[in-house]
Amino acid sequence: MKINNYLYSLLAASVGLFLFSCDEEDSSPVPEFNAVPGSVELRTTTGTRDTISVLEDAGSVKIPVDLVSDPIAAPVTVNYTVTGALSATGTAVIPANASSATIEIPIPDNKAIDATRFATVTLTGADNNLRIGRNGRGVTKVIRIRDNIQTISFSTTGATVTEAPNNPIVKIPVTVSNTLRTAVSVAYTVTPVAGNTATNFQVVSPNPLTLQAGVKTDTIRVRIMNNLERNMNNRFEVKITSVTPASADAEINFNTSKSTFTVTVNDDLRTVAFVNEATPQVITSARTVNSEIRLSEPSTRPVTVNYTITGGTAGVDYVDNTGGRLTIPAGATVGNINIEFLNAAFGMNPNKNIRVNLVSVEGEDREVVLGSNNVLNFELE
């Protein structure tokens, strides 16, 4: 019995000691596992993760810097440097309880056409024990600085025009990539394409052509001269050779791949032919017949048509009062071949066929050719 009482007392003491240990408050710090310190980083934009492109005349570029943590009750100062084509140091302040600020980098315009330049913005530090970037991201940003060049070019590669008596003018559009900030002189040449000898053009516009400030387009005007020659698709080229801005610091050039405009000149061909297509014409008695021939368009020069008469005997069956050559005056379109059929042609055995054949065209206007209706038959009965 004494042994049992002893064991009971020993067990009660052990339980009391355990309860005392559990009730005692432990004031030692408890470590936080997997805690990630806050950071600041340059904002990443989809598609331009590490590079931002800006035109030289933009004035400045703005780059957001973000606080990657819970809001902080105090302002956060972020330090940065700019190296490369630009050189600067600075700070951006994220206000208390805010999540971002903006770094603004001035972009000077050097007023010259040059190669693309690059500058690098690098975060160098931040207060409040914040890290710079996460996993190497958001620490730097490359600024790609490009010239805002105004480019002059032809908007199309060429045109086709047909000669005409009124000597038409072809207008060749010269365009600017955006509105001109200053006047510019555009020098150009107008020359026949290799292999072409005709120079049936006349430059109407001044050379150089001056494009005024504020415009986006102008025209070079060239008159197409009707040279009355058969040139078979004569061609000439208008080519921009240089541009000179009125202001020496203007960034203007011309697009060499769009600096040539080709004009193809079609001949203003006219045809001459008989008007009367009813053939053969039946002649039953002596009389005089006027056979009309016509030009499809008037010419600025006289046009002479040569013809022959076959079948029958001249002086016996007929008299050619026009003499084998018909001349249509300049500006006119109609002429008549006059043939007198004689009594002798209608004797015992008339039944003769007399044919008038247009055979050639003469004159200074070599763009007149024979048409398809160039034969006329007469049946003498």
pLDDT tens digits for range 33-85: 445 568 999 987 654 458 899 988 888 999 999 999 888 999 999 999 999 99
Give the predicted TM-score (pTM) of the model: 0.63
In the CATH scheme, what architecture does the domain 271-380 have?
Answer: Sandwich (2.60)
Q: What is the pLDDT of residue 5?
A: 46
Q: Where are the alpha helices (DSSP H) in the chain?
A: 2-23
Q: What is the CATH number of domain 151-266?
A: 2.60.40.2030
Q: Measure the CA–CA gap between 379 and 317, rounded to whole angstroms.
A: 12
How is the chain split into domains, by residue range?
Answer: 39-146, 151-266, 271-380
CB distance 338 to 290 below 8 Å: yes
Tell me which of 377 and 267 has the higher pLDDT: 377
191 φ/ψ sector (left φ>0, alpha ψ -120 to 50, else beta): beta
- For the chain, percent of residues with pLDDT exceeding 90: 56
3-state secondary structure 65-109: EEEECCCCCCCEEEEEEEEECCCEEEEEEECCCCCEEEEEEECCC
Summarised one tens digit per residue, pLDDT across range 276-310 is 766 788 888 889 999 999 999 888 889 999 999 99
By DSSP bridging, strand 334-341 and strand 287-295 are antiparallel
pLDDT over 70, % of the chain: 87
Give residue-wise pLDDT tens across range 258-271. Answer: 999 999 998 888 89
* CATH code matching the domain that covers 39-146, chosen among 3.30.70.20, 2.60.40.2030, 3.30.460.80, 1.20.1250.20: 2.60.40.2030
Identical fold between 151-266 and 271-380: yes
Answer yes or no: is pLDDT of 236 > 80: yes
Average confidence (pLDDT) over 104-113: 86
- More reliable by pLDDT, 344 or 301: 301
pLDDT at residue 356, as a whole number: 95
